[in-house]
Amino acid sequence: MSFDSVCKFIAETFTADLATWLLGEPVELARLEPSELLSSPIYADSLVLLESKELVLQIEFQVEPKAEIPFRMTDYAVRGFRRFPNKRVRQVVIYLRRSQSPLVYQTIFERDGIRHEFEVIRIWEVPASQFQELPGLLPFAVLAQTGDRERTLRQVSERIETIGDRGQRGDVAASAAILAGLVLDKGLIRSVLREDVMKESVIYQEIVSTAAERGRREGEQSLVLRQLKHRFGVLSSKLQQQVDMLSLSSLEELGEALLDFSSEADLAAWLQGHR
């Protein structure tokens, strides 16, 4: 799971906590699907859309700065104004990892008479104390402004232990562990944040499930490639690349189909039909 996807999960799970931080009050917000705003939601992985009766809040989490962000936010805004003409549209880009790039300071898009402004938060400039009161904000504390990240992580761990709901406690712990990986050693993170707590989290379970599926895919891919090499020798780089891109289910199908292949041409034809 990517860092911005974890942030998206946090924002959609702890909307009141996020609203308290960004809006100054726990405004009741509901999640919007990207399709509500974007006809082709090509930015959906890092985009969070939340709405209240008066407001549409657009949040973009980014690990690395990108030159296209100003235009992207302008695009969001125009679509938001069209879809929700009676609501304010507030936009915030949140950069997660410290960067010296001037791109993280860009808050304006200007071109051909068009000018649009949006907010930017460089999380490493925000005091860590702002993230240590509400459960949904705890995962961001280690990325924030602090003189001792390890000490801050331990404080976060202690605060997590006080969360009564087991599922929520696990979600916060797992999210904190993933985001801390941006700035701290994984061994240290594992020694501070309890794995038995994280196991209660849907994020943790998704990570474990993804890792298991990746392992099954790699095993199936290795078996299929060995079988193909045994039958046809070393594959061409083009065929090798196409096999490498197959999903687990397609690899399993290929493992059965290749028993009937008599030449590389049969493999090429099969791959062409399973793009």
pLDDT digits (tens, 9 = 90+) for 21-34: 999 888 888 887 76
pLDDT digits (tens, 9 = 90+) for 170-195: 889 888 988 998 999 988 888 888 77
pLDDT digits (tens, 9 = 90+) for 97-149: 999 999 999 999 999 999 999 999 999 999 999 999 999 999 999 999 999 99
pTM check: above 0.75: no
Average pLDDT over residues 253-257: 84
- pLDDT band of residue 167 (cuts 50, 70, 90) is confident
Beta bridge partners of 49: 58
Examine the pLDDT at 200 and tell me if it is beyond 80: no
Cα separation, 73 vs 223, in Å, equals 46
CB 8 within 8 A of CB 48: yes
As a residue count, the chain comes to 275
- Please report, to the nearest 10 degrees, the dihedral formed by the alpha carbons of residues 52, 56, 61, 64 taken in order: -170
Most confident of the following: 35-49, 185-199, 215-229, 256-270: 256-270
Q: Say which DSSP state 35 is in.
A: G
| Angle separating helix axes 237-244 and 202-232, nearest 10 degrees | 150
